[in-house]
A and B are shown apart, each in its own frame.
Chain A
Amino acid sequence: MPSLGESSLDEVRTALRTNGADGGLRLRTGPYVARIRSPLPEVAESVAKLYRHHEVAEASSFVDFDVAVRRPRGARALRRPQVVFEFEGDEPFNPLPGDQGFPLLEWGLNWCVYGLCHQHLTLHSAVLERGGRALLLPAPSGSGKSTLCAALLFSGWRLLSDELALIDPDSAALLPNPRPVSLKNASIEVIQRFAPMVEFGSRVEETAKGVVAHFAPPAAAVRDSHRPAAPGFIVFPKYTPDAPARLVPMERSRTLMRLIENAFNYDIFGRAGFDLLGALVDRSECFAFEYGDLAEAVRLFDRLGRGERV
C-alpha cells in the first residue's frame, strides 16, 4: 500500500482541501482509518511531513473517524483567526487560536480513540516494545514520560504509541497505534541533541502551555503497526534534575491501582476492566523509575530490555 510520502505536497494539500464524499485524505494509523480534511496550508504541510510513513487508504475504504480542522463558521471567524476541530459534522470543542491547527488535529485524533473506541481498554501511557515484550510508561504530563519515550524509540525500542496504550480485552496484548510524537518546551531541544537526525515539524505556541513540536514516528514502527506486543514491563517514570537513574520494584497492587487511575475507559469496562488490568499486571515486571540524565536512563532501559538484572 502506498505511503503518504510518495505524494507531493500539492497532492496532499488538494486531498485535504477537497470536500464531498470522495474528498479528504484517508490515513491508516494502527487499527484505524481517519479521513482528514483541512483547508489550512500549515496543516497540510505538517500532515505531509509528519505522516509521510503512514499508509494512504483508498477512497472506498471504511473510515473509522471523519475529522476536519478549519476556521470556525460565522461572525466570530472574522475577529481573530481561529481553528476548530470538527468530528462528523459537530464541533465538540472550543476553537483555539489560529496557528494551532496541527496540534489540534493530533489532540482530536487522540480524543477519537480514547473517547469512542471501547473495543479495547485505553490507558494514558506511552508504549514501546523490545524483544517481544511491551514497555508501558503510564503517566500524566510533566513526568518526563514523553522525553523518555522519544529517546527510547531511537535506542532500539519499537514505538507503539507515545500517548495511548490500547489493550486487547481478549489477550491483554498491546495494540500499536504509532502517530506523530509530540514534545514540549525544553524536551524539544533535549531530544534534538539526543537524536540530531530527527526532523521536527513546526514549533507551535500553545496558549499558556508553551511550545509544542512533533516528529514523524520511525518508518519501521509504522510498518510493524499490525504486530501487537505481549505484556512485559510497567514503569512509572519521574524526571528529577540530577537524580541518578534508578529502577525500584513497585508493588503489583499499587501498580494496578495506578493503571486504573490512568485508564480512560475503566468505568465502561467495569469488572472486565479490573480483571484485564489485573492480568496485565500479573504478566509484567513493575517499577517506579527516577532519572535526571536521559542518556543514563536509556542505558538502564537497555539493560532491562536485554533481560539483565537492574
Chain B
Amino acid sequence: MTAYLVPADLTTRHWEGEETAVVRLDVQGTTHLVASEALAVVQAVASCGEAAAGLREIAHALGQDITDDPALAAGLQRIIDGLVQSGLLRQRPDDAEPGGEQPR
C-alpha cells in the first residue's frame, strides 16, 4: 500500500470559505495556488499523523468511504497524484509487511 505524508516545510494561506488556497514549499522554493479540495486532501493526510495515510485512510479523514465506489477512489487518487507531482505530498517509504516481519 502506498502511504503519503505532508512535507515538513509546507505553509498554507487559506481564507475561510474561499475556493482556493496558496501553498508554499520552503525547501523546494515553489508557491502554488491550489483548489480547496486539493488542500482538504493535504489536510486529511496531515490529520492522520503518525499512522500510515493510504487512499482509504485519506478518504476516511475526508468523511468518505471508497468501498464499492471506484469512481471516488479514482478521483481521489488523481488529486493525490497531482499533489505528489507538485511536491505538496510525498510518498512514504514502504512500511513493514503485515504479520510482524522485520522491515527490510
B69 on the A face (CB < 8 A)? no
Cβ–Cβ contact A274 & B31, under 8 A? yes
Choose from A252, A254, A271, A281 the contact partner of B24 (Cβ within 8 Å): A271
Contacting A at CB under 8 A, from B22-43, are 22, 24, 26, 29, 31, 33
Q: Which of B11-19, B53-61, B73-81, B84-92 contacts A (4 or more CB under 8 A)?
A: B11-19
Query: Closest CB of chain A to B101's CB: distance in Å?
Result: 42
Cβ–Cβ contact A267 & B18, under 8 A? no
Of all chain A residues, the one with the shortest Cβ separation from B13 is A278
Query: What is the 8 Å Cβ interface bit string for chain B, positions 2-22, against chain A (1 contact, 0 not)?
Result: 000000000101110011111
Query: Closest CB of chain A to B27's CB: distance in Å?
Result: 10
Cβ–Cβ contact B15 & A271, under 8 A? no
Query: What is the 8 Å Cβ interface bit string for chain A, positions 175-205, against chain B (1 contact, 0 not)?
Result: 0000000000000000000000000000000
A251 on the B face (CB < 8 A)? yes
Cβ–Cβ contact B29 & A267, under 8 A? yes
Cβ–Cβ contact B29 & A251, under 8 A? no
Q: Contacts of B29 on A, CB cut-off 8 Å? A: 267, 270
A278 CA to B22 CA in the complex, in Å? 9
Q: Contacts of B26 on A, CB cut-off 8 Å? A: 270-271
A253 CA to B19 CA in the complex, in Å? 9
Cβ–Cβ contact A271 & B18, under 8 A? no
Choose from B11, B20, B31 the contact partner of A254 (Cβ within 8 Å): B20
Choose from B11, B13, B24 the contact partner of A253 (Cβ within 8 Å): B13
Contacting B at CB under 8 A, from A240-280, are 251-254, 256-257, 260, 266-267, 270-271, 274, 278
Cβ–Cβ contact A251 & B31, under 8 A? no
A274 CA to B22 CA in the complex, in Å? 9
Q: A253-B33, A260-B31 are in contact. Are A271 and B22 (CB under 8 A)?
A: no
Interface set of B (CB-CB < 8 Å, partner A): 11, 13-15, 18-22, 24, 26, 29, 31, 33
Most A C-beta atoms less than 10 A away, residue of B13, B24, B29: B13
Q: How large is the interface on A (under 10, 10 to 19, 20 to 34, 35 or more residues)?
A: 10 to 19
Query: What is the 8 Å Cβ interface bit string for chain A, positions 267-297, against chain B (1 contact, 0 not)?
Result: 1001100100010010000000000000000
Q: A270-B26, A271-B26, A278-B13 are in contact. Are A253 and B31 (CB under 8 A)?
A: no
Of all chain A residues, the one with the shortest Cβ separation from B15 is A252
Cβ–Cβ contact B18 & A252, under 8 A? yes
Query: Closest CB of chain A to B35's CB: distance in Å?
Result: 10
Cβ–Cβ contact B20 & A274, under 8 A? no
Cβ–Cβ contact B18 & A274, under 8 A? no
Cβ–Cβ contact A251 & B18, under 8 A? yes
A271 CA to B20 CA in the complex, in Å? 19
Q: Contacts of B11 on A, CB cut-off 8 Å? A: 271, 274
Q: Contacts of B19 on A, CB cut-off 8 Å? A: 251
Of all chain A residues, the one with the shortest Cβ separation from B24 is A274
Cβ–Cβ contact B15 & A251, under 8 A? yes
Cβ–Cβ contact B15 & A254, under 8 A? no
Query: Closest CB of chain A to B81's CB: distance in Å?
Result: 22
Of all chain B residues, the one with the shortest Cβ separation from A271 is B26
Query: Closest CB of chain A to B62's CB: distance in Å?
Result: 20
Query: Closest CB of chain A to B94's CB: distance in Å?
Result: 32
Q: Contacts of B18 on A, CB cut-off 8 Å? A: 251-253
Cβ–Cβ contact B20 & A251, under 8 A? yes
Q: Contacts of B21 on A, CB cut-off 8 Å? A: 253
Q: A251-B18, A251-B19, A274-B31 are in contact. Are A256 and B24 (CB under 8 A)?
A: no
Query: Closest CB of chain A to B52's CB: distance in Å?
Result: 29
A251 CA to B33 CA in the complex, in Å? 12
Query: Closest CB of chain A to B37's CB: distance in Å?
Result: 13
Q: A267-B29, A274-B31 are in contact. Are A257 and B15 (CB under 8 A)?
A: no
